């Protein structure tokens, strides 16, 4: 096909048919079809589809038409890193506090909260902790306390409109440890209240097992492998783990999975 205008018209018919009024669409086809054999039109249509898909347009158009509605306006992806050693130290303290705000309609990241936290009971990080998390002493020294970080989380939640009663949001974690054990345990130790929005969440491991029919024994690594996804960043980096969780959620949602709360009410 060498006629540039014909090519443009065919591409328009292929990509914009859903948006054209029926009478205009019919007349456009009648104008173009006599110029080309049916086989040429069909073949060119396939080429256009492949070209669009190679640039991401095909996938996004398909997603817009097939993406299932979620039960929440926003998903708040969270993954703590905490002080640790072998044998384990007690009490553990949160040293990285990341949250990604994921739009429930598009499954895209809209906002990020990320802070490091200074531990107070065991202020010196162990070599094991640094090797595991990649967090060095200088990253936590002089940082806000957990109480101060929780206050900033609340300010961020308010700024993002997440405290509006009409906005449905829920936290998402890889396992139950973050919000069932770590945060309430440290808050109890320090005599701090736990905000109600931290008391319900989605355990991604359970969601994945419901969607895929197998339990991800090795957490994010198994989920990425099961979905043929590339692992993002460094394992046990809180912010990188959040990005992997968000990517897994997006992939499951595009496959038609509807996320539901998995935690039991406190």
How much is the pTM? 0.76
What is the dotted CATH code of the domain comprising 74-255?
3.30.420.10
pLDDT by residue (tens digit) across 197-244? Answer: 999 999 999 999 999 999 999 999 999 999 999 999 999 999 999 999
Catalytic-role residue among 73, 131, 236, 254: 236
- For residue 83, pLDDT over 60 is answered with yes
**Average pLDDT of the chain, as a whole number:** 83
Residues 216 and 226: beta-carbon distance below 8 Å: yes
In this prediction, residue 39 carries a pLDDT of 44
- For residue 178, pLDDT over 70 is answered with yes
14 is catalytic: no
How many C-beta atoms surround the C-beta of residue 244 within 10 A? 25
In this prediction, residue 266 carries a pLDDT of 60
In this prediction, residue 201 carries a pLDDT of 98
* Residue bearing the bigger pLDDT, 36 or 186: 186
131 is catalytic: no
**What are the DSSP calls for the chain, one per residue?**
---HHHHHHHHHHHHHGGGS-HHHHHHHHHHHGGGS-HHHHHHHHHHHHHHHHHTTHHHHHHHHHHPPPPS-SEEEEE--EE---SSPPSS--EEEEEEEEEETTT--EEEEEEEE---SSS-SPPHHHHHHH---HHHHTTPPPHHHHHHHHHHHHHHTTTT-TTS-EEEEESSSIIIIIIHHHHHHHHT----GGGS-EEEHHHHHHHHHSS--TTTHHHHHHHTT-PPPS-TT-HHHHHHHHHHHHHHHHHTT------SPP-
* Residue bearing the bigger pLDDT, 78 or 48: 78
User: Residue 78 pairs with which residues in a beta bridge?
Assistant: 99
Q: Write out the two tokens for 261.
A: 């709360």
Catalytic-role residue among 55, 81, 96, 122: 81
* Residue bearing the bigger pLDDT, 45 or 246: 246
- For residue 44, pLDDT over 50 is answered with no
In this prediction, residue 66 carries a pLDDT of 61
């Amino acid at each position: 096909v060498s006629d540039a205008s014909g090519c443009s018209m065919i591409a328009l018919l292929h990509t914009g048919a859903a948006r054209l009024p029926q009478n205009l669409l019919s007349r456009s086809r009648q104008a173009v079809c006599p110029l080309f054999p049916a086989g040429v039109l069909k073949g060119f249509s396939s080429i256009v589809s492949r070209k669009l898909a190679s640039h991401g347009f095909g996938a996004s158009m398909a997603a817009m038409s097939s993406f299932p509605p979620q039960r929440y306006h926003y998903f708040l992806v969270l993954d703590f890193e905490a002080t640790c050693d072998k044998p384990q130290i007690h009490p553990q303290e949160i040293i990285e506090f990341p949250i990604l705000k994921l739009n429930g309609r598009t499954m895209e990241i809209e906002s990020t909260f990320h802070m490091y936290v200074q531990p107070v009971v065991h202020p010196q990080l162990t070599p094991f902790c640094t090797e595991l998390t990649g967090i060095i002493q200088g990253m936590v020294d002089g940082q806000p306390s957990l109480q101060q970080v929780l206050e900033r989380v609340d300010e961020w939640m308010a700024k993002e409109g997440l405290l509006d009663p009409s906005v449905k949001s829920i936290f998402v974690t890889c396992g139950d440890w973050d919000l069932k054990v770590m945060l309430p345990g440290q808050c109890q130790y320090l005599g701090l209240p736990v905000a109600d929005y931290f008391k319900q969440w989605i355990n991604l491991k359970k969601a994945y097992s419901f969607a895929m029919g197998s339990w991800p024994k090795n957490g994010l690594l198994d989920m990425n492998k099961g979905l043929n996804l590339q692992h993002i960043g460094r394992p046990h980096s809180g912010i990188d783990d959040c990005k992997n969780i968000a990517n897994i959620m997006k992939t499951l949602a595009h496959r038609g999975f509807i996320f539901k709360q998995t935690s039991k009410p406190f």
